[in-house]
Amino acid sequence: MFQSFEVTARPEQGPPRLAALRDELAREGLQGFLIPRADAHQGEYVAPRDERLAWLTGFTGSAGFCAALTDVAGVFIDGRYRTQVKAQVAKEYTPVPWPDVSLSAWLKEQLPNGGKVGFDPWLHAAGQISSAQKDLEGSGIELVRCNNLVDRIWADQPVPPKSPVRVHPLEFAGESAENKIKRLANELQDADRMAAVITLPDSIMWLLNIRGSDIGYNPVAHGFAILHSNGRVDLFMAAAKLTGLADHLGPQVTQHEPEAFLASVEALKGKVQVDPSTVPQIVADALGDRMVDGGDPCALPKARKNPAEIAGTAEAHLRDAAAVAELLCWLDAQEPGSLTETQVVSRLEECRCRDNALQDISFDTIAGTGPNGAIMHYRVTEETDSRLENGHLLVLDSGGQYLDGTTDITRTIAIGEVGDEEKACFTRVLKGMIAMSMLRWPVGLAGRDIECVARLPLWLAGQDFNHGVGHGVGTYLSVHEGPQRLSRVSHVPLEPGMILSNEPGYYREGAFGIRLENLVVVEKAPTLAGGDGERAMLNWRTLTYVPVDRRLIVVDMLTREERTWLNAYHRDVAEKVRPRLGEAVQLWLDAATAPV
């Protein structure tokens, strides 16, 4: 199995660590300290050194934070993790439903007489802090910049990662780094900005056509960058990581050690563009009134995949589909009760590893059977490893990092004879995925405008799910990529070239979970026959080609149009994937893609 990069903590380790943190609060004269999931680069994924939230609380989700006060410690988690957190934190920690309950509202309730709450200005985005400070006005509660108190008590904290950086070939990138720099620098000039500060690792990787391995499953390296409007780039990354890359980076890129970053920011002249939602507060402090909110200049260009990136991703998905089909064929041949979750994970990784282009998996494989499937981001451990019993649903969410693309696919699989209720819920989830797949929508709409389409079949049955319908996906970069999302809070208009997931689900705590996920790319929709063509439209092209488990479908619940879509999809699966399979798996695929 691939190595997990998570720092984990057992629930019983949380209370003594919390007590040690409270000793530090007393020494500093603070009434609280904020512990985010984020690191100084403000990406979603962090290295073991920066797993402060997991180390302190035991909670290993990819989003959330802890507000540790002198007599209460709130662990703020969104809807994806409200089941998971219960099993991971001790009773000394109080789960807080976030963003339903904001940090500011919670602090006001817990500190009615005011107080000082410390935070590390490297680890909190400027926008987060300014919003919280505004909400706390008049409460007597003050957010105070301070050194990191968790680092003081974490005796065996891992060292910072220093993995070597490598070139991402032009055949997969589709555009030279020199051209990207020039293009974005011209945009800064046109906007009267002297420079832009870039902290997100995947943005720096994309801009310079490089990749790293500082973070598990994500081919990125830690660093900071300043893009100047004259076409120069200051790259703040340890020289040891960049050995042999001078020719690739070229004269327009100047390397500096990371320790020089803050002083260089302070020395900038004129207006400096930043993204307040990702730039650390300490950078905002250094810029003062020179800071201009203009977003990460790489975010949208990176999201709009070019033809080479789309072609590479499509090819990676076909090879990945062959690996998943091989796994599903093997799984169907096993008797209920004969396998555990870890055996499924190991076998799937073996199937993917036969592809020489595979660099890593794209996240910890989720293989949740029965009640474990109701934990949306379940990670199997030695303690939780469960057998796939007759009547279970298995939620299998996995992906690969290939040189030419990133994959992410979820299938829910029947183990033995499954009940009618599970099948009905599965069919509603399938109807939602099909509805989104078939959608055409006007140019200019954002994820929040259309995501309800995938929820409607569930809503009509009084059901729903507590995660977004879809997230953006990079090309041999982060499997979760912004700014595009299919989410109620996403206001970024969808544009051709953007790759997203389409993944409705349903979860019944303590019983079962269901999720189906295909990756799709936004394209210009063709004009319909007989249409007046007055309004430009967009639609999806599906990239994922793996059968949906026909044993779980209540065919009578599908409309004629839905059956037509599903049968056409399965014909495409057979046509595209069958030639890549061995004879035994071909026979399995023929049955799995038969018409409904």
Burial 264-273 (b: 16+ CB within 10 A, else e): bbeebeebbb
Q: Of 215, 234, 265, which is closest to residue 41 (Cα–Cα)? A: 215
pLDDT in tens, 247-259: 999 999 999 999 9
Confidence of residue 173 (pLDDT cuts 50, 70, 90): very high
Task: Tell me the pLDDT tens digit for each residue of 42-54.
Answer: 878 899 999 999 9
CATH tag, 166-301: 3.40.350.10
Residues 486-512 have a mean pLDDT of 97
| Mean pLDDT computed over 367-388 | 93
Strand locations in 426-585, DSSP E? 440-442, 470-472, 481-486, 499-502, 505-508, 512-515, 518-524, 537-542
Q: What is the CB neighbour count within 10 angstroms for residue 347?
A: 16
Q: How far apart are CA 200 and CA 264, in angstroms?
A: 17
pLDDT tens string 121-138: 999 999 999 999 999 999
Q: Does domain 304-592 have CATH number 3.40.50.300?
A: no
**C-alpha distance from residue 99 to each of 275, 504, 553 (Å):** 21, 21, 35
Q: Which CATH architecture has domain 11-153?
A: 3-Layer(aba) Sandwich (3.40)
Mean per-residue pLDDT for 576-582? 98
Asked whether this chain's domains 11-153 and 166-301 adopt the same fold, the reply is yes
**Smallest Cα–Cα separation from 399: which of 472, 503, 498, 479?**
479
User: Of 483 and 11, which is predicted with more confidence?
Assistant: 483
For the chain, the domains span 11-153, 166-301, 304-592
Q: Are 248 and 228 in contact (CB under 8 A)?
A: no
Whole-number Å distance between alpha carbons of 575 and 449: 34
Q: Beta strand 253-256 with 358-361: parallel, antiparallel or unpaired?
A: unpaired
Q: How large is the average pLDDT for residues 497-520?
A: 98
Question: How sure is the predictor about 8, in pLDDT bands with cuts at 50, 70 and 90?
Answer: low
Map 397-447 to HEC letters.
Answer: EECEEECCEECCEEEEEECCCCCHHHHHHHHHHHHHHHHHHHCEEECCCEH
Q: Mean pLDDT of all residues in the chain?
A: 95
Q: For the residues 105-124, what does the mean pLDDT come to?
A: 95
For the ranges 85-89, 295-299, 516-520, the lowest mean pLDDT is seen at 85-89
Over the stretch 409-467, which tens digit does the pLDDT of each residue have?
Answer: 999 999 999 999 999 999 999 999 999 999 999 999 999 999 999 999 999 999 999 99
